[in-house]
Amino acid sequence: MRRELHAEWTKLRTVAAPGLLLLGAVVLTVAGSAVAAAVMTCPSAGCGQDAARISLFGVQIGQGLVALLAVVAVCGEYGTGMIRTSLTAMPRRIAGLAVRAGLLAGLTAAAGTVAVLGSVLAGRLLLPGNGFTPEHGHPPLSLLDGPTLRAAAGSVLYLVLVALISLGVATAVRDSAAATGAVLGLLYLFPLVVLMVRNQDLQLMLWRLSPMNAGLAVQATTSLPSMLIGPWAGLGVVAAWAAAALVGGGLLLRSRDA
């Protein structure tokens, strides 16, 4: 595995796109969270707002660039034809995919941690000015608070799983435009399609299967009994999507020519 690890790391660090996408994901996540914290208000006690979830809103924006990171990492080789050289040098295709998944997961976790910490800090600084005060039942955000820590850590895990879903889809599709459309559609369009379903039972089932709806439930720190899916159960749904994408992509990678 050392050979595959060295090769994949060399490919990732010698092109500019992955670094720029990771930086962009951090910036967009923190900026989106700061904007959300700046515009949301809690004018009175019991306003019903979830301060932790507001401060992590930017994850919904940053996940798009995380998804693109995996697409670029995979489809760039197919676009230039370098995939033939890679497969010749590393004939163990599944091992190569596993190493690539590990590297992407590690890089996404590092960038996601920075982004989430910045988002929580933005919420801690901005929300009190909009009424999220101890008097209204909202103490300052702190990672020492169990639910807030779970929301923050879960958001990082969610971003990692999004990267793995994208990796699996890109490996299966091999075309950057198609892979980007498929992953972004799954993240952003699927929840909109669910709202158009009239059958309530079917709508509920699809809502629970939506990666973004289910996965971001981990950010909730209030009104947990009334949620349609629990925080960790929702993250489990995203993990199942990631596993399915990686298995499907791995099987196709192993069975067909470059």
First to last CA, the chain: 21
CA dist 148 → 140, 143, 160, 181, 218 (Å)? 11, 6, 19, 33, 10
Q: How many CB atoms lie within 10 A of CB 184?
A: 17
Within 8 A by CB and 6+ apart from 232, the residues are 154, 218
Please tell me the distance from the alpha carbon of residue 117 to that of residue 2, in angstroms, as a whole number.
32
At 126, list the tokens. Answer: 């901005």
Q: What is the largest CA-CA distance in the chain?
A: 65
Q: How many CB atoms lie within 10 A of CB 43?
A: 8
Closest among 219, 109, 83 to 163, alpha carbons compared? 109
Per-residue model confidence as pLDDT tens digits over 70-103: 898 887 666 665 666 666 656 677 888 888 899 9
Please tell me the distance from the alpha carbon of residue 82 to that of residue 87, in angstroms, as a whole number.
9
User: Quick check: pTM over 0.85?
Assistant: yes
Instruction: Count the alpha carbons within 13 Å of 243 in the hemisphere toward its beta carbon.
Output: 6
CA dist 61 → 15, 16, 149, 224 (Å)? 24, 21, 20, 24
Residuewise pLDDT in 10s, the chain (258 residues): 666 666 666 666 666 688 899 999 999 999 999 999 999 999 888 788 999 999 999 999 999 999 999 898 887 666 665 666 666 656 677 888 888 899 999 999 999 999 999 999 999 999 999 999 998 888 999 999 999 999 999 999 999 999 999 999 999 998 889 999 999 999 999 999 998 999 999 999 999 999 999 999 999 999 888 899 999 999 999 999 999 999 999 998 887 665
Whether 123 and 55 have beta carbons less than 8 Å apart is answered as yes
Within 8 A by CB and 6+ apart from 48, the residues are 222, 223
At 16, list the tokens. Answer: 């500019």
At 40, list the tokens. Answer: 């949301």
Provide the residue ranges of all domains of the chain, joining segments of one domain with +.
2-255
At 130, list the tokens. Answer: 């909009």
